[in-house]
């Protein structure tokens, strides 16, 4: 039944066309939306390297009409090293999201209690700056709601990575400024405290939710924790997009 309902998303993604309105094929709830996502991810036949968490700021939740975060899967084939200036991707209405991304050093399994920003620390190996590009690949664009967003792998498109900082706790993840430039013009700013008050809350949320779904975060996976900016910024082709993270580095990309 799920396989039939999710066909329109899978076929549209394979043919690089926009997904039509799901109408009668809409997931009935969040649980079924993640089952859709699993089928969509399976259809890509790509290599998973970790997870993205979305809708982790008040701005993002207002923009998308959601009340809690959501997650999606990231892949080695759509993850790039900065600077990435010749990126060819099919996109509809892409949004630029400078984020703080963490590498995990140990399986985050069920320990009989919920994870939080304190007990999650020992599982973190490193931090690095990233730009995640998210994209609403539906015909109705960003008019989509939670179930459609989750079903299409959390609207993840690609990830561009900066340099890794092993001494991750030395970085002020809450207060360090993050500035987004397009063609050398400052467009928007943000900071890590915009992400559920602390990006570690984003990792904790993901760990707890995956365990509820019978999954877990694995050793070596990376977790990008959500948009740090104060407003959604749409990407445009053939522009130099650069996110500068104070004390952490810079991530630069361009797509066409």
* Nearest C-alpha neighbor of 136 from the set 70, 91, 69: 91
Tokens linked to 115: 């994870």
| Predicted local distance difference test score (pLDDT) of residue 59 | 77
Helix 30-44 crosses helix 7-14 at what angle (to 10 degrees)?
A: 30
- Distance separating alpha carbons of residues 38 and 58, to the nearest angstrom: 27
Class of 2-255 per CATH?
Answer: alpha beta
- Going by the DSSP 8-state scheme, the letter that residue 108 receives in this structure is B
Res 1: pLDDT? 79
CA angle 216-207-167, nearest 5°?
105
Q: What is the pLDDT of residue 123?
A: 98
pLDDT at 57: 84
**Residue 67: what pLDDT?**
82
Cα separation, 253 vs 103, whole angstroms: 21
With a threshold of 0.85, does the pTM exceed it?
yes
Q: What is the rounded end-to-end Cα distance, in angstroms, of the chain?
A: 38
Q: How far apart are CA 50 and CA 65, in angstroms?
A: 25
Q: What is the pLDDT of residues 62-71, one digit of tens each?
A: 777 778 999 9
pLDDT of residue 227: 96
Per-residue pLDDT of the chain (256 residues; tens, 9 = 90+): 798 999 999 999 999 999 999 999 999 999 999 999 999 999 999 999 999 999 998 877 877 777 899 999 999 999 999 999 999 988 999 999 999 999 999 999 999 999 999 999 999 999 999 999 999 999 999 999 999 999 999 999 999 999 999 999 999 999 999 999 999 999 999 999 999 999 999 999 999 999 999 999 999 999 999 999 989 999 999 999 999 999 999 999 999 8
């Amino acid at each position: 039944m799920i396989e039939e309902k999710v066909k329109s998303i899978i076929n549209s993604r394979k043919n690089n066309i926009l997904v039509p309105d799901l109408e009668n094929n809409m997931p009935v709830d969040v649980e079924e939306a993640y089952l859709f996502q699993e089928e969509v991810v399976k259809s890509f036949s790509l290599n998973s390297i970790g997870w993205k968490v979305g809708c982790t700021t008040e701005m993002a939740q207002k923009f998308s009409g959601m009340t809690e975060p959501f997650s999606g899967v990231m892949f080695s084939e759509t993850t790039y090293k900065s600077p990435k200036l010749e990126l060819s991707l099919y996109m509809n209405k892409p949004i630029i999201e400078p984020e703080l991304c963490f590498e995990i050093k140990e399986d985050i399994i069920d320990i009989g209690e919920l994870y939080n920003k304190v007990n999650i620390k020992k599982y973190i190996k490193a931090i690095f700056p990233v730009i995640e590009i998210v994209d609403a690949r539906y015909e109705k664009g960003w008019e989509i709601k939670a179930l459609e967003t989750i079903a299409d792998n959390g609207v993840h498109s690609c990830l561009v990575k900066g340099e890794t900082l092993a001494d991750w706790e030395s970085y002020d993840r809450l207060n360090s400024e993050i500035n987004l430039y397009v063609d050398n013009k400052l467009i928007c700013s943000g900071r890590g405290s915009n992400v559920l008050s602390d990006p570690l809350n984003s990792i904790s949320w993901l760990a707890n939710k995956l365990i509820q779904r019978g999954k877990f975060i694995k050793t070596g996976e990376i977790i990008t924790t959500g948009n740090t900016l104060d407003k959604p910024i749409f990407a445009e082709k053939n522009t130099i997009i650069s996110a500068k993270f104070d004390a952490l580095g810079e991530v630069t990309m361009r797509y066409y």
